[in-house]
Structure 1
């Protein structure tokens, strides 16, 4: 568990309309479950306040960063349904799936009212995501062709 006082300032689930996030995830066959303040987050790989995943459900609290909610959701979205149903806490060890997950979370942020791709990329940088080119935006715009192609090939993005 991290010390909330030392966490960077990023957009959290409590800063946006929960219904908007739940609706976005539902379009991908996922259920967004709200966990009460101070309660443990089921399926959280990194521990609170990070989002958790179990099968088709994403668990968040109001203090869960939106980038975490989207990242864990995208881990589930990139999986075929039969693999998704078996997920508990850790979705993948595949580099292509991880890259596709990072790319897709930025795309989906653009569909989430009150967030947007620009804000999400800034939050990812503030939280400590690292990329060869030095920033999330540089990776997304200049070095993520393979992640985009992976998503297009599987019908998760339009070419």
Structure 2
């Protein structure tokens, strides 16, 4: 899977105006929350994860693309808390939104709007990724699926989980 990420990063880096950053560069584990935190540190506009599919099917050459289900999560709550604790927020040094002085209803509305935009972006990007992958490989599903994977639940970074191949056929 790391080789797929490296090749994609090379393609992205070869495109003017784009820069890919790999969260890891070897075969070792990085915690799910830490992956999202690293993406935020790099000011990522998009986060993708590549993994083998855990369930075999008849055709072992397949690709599936997933995004997060809609809904509040512990990752969302953590993001909200982190946002409130920052001092350099919108109206502040870095132009980010400070929710600290907003009432709970307004914070909920702002978070919901952010989540909706992020999930819509994830779905749109996922559709485009599937369209391109479908040109070179058989798709396990022809649409972006939804699941509550933690790595997909960042409320501020559109993200996809792209399953490539199967554990039984790496």
TM-score, normalised via structure 2 length = 0.31
Higher relative contact order (CA 8 A, sep 6+): 2
More strand by proportion, 1 or 2?
2
More helix by proportion, 1 or 2?
1
Q: Which has the larger radius of gyration?
A: 2
TM-score, normalised via structure 1 length = 0.32
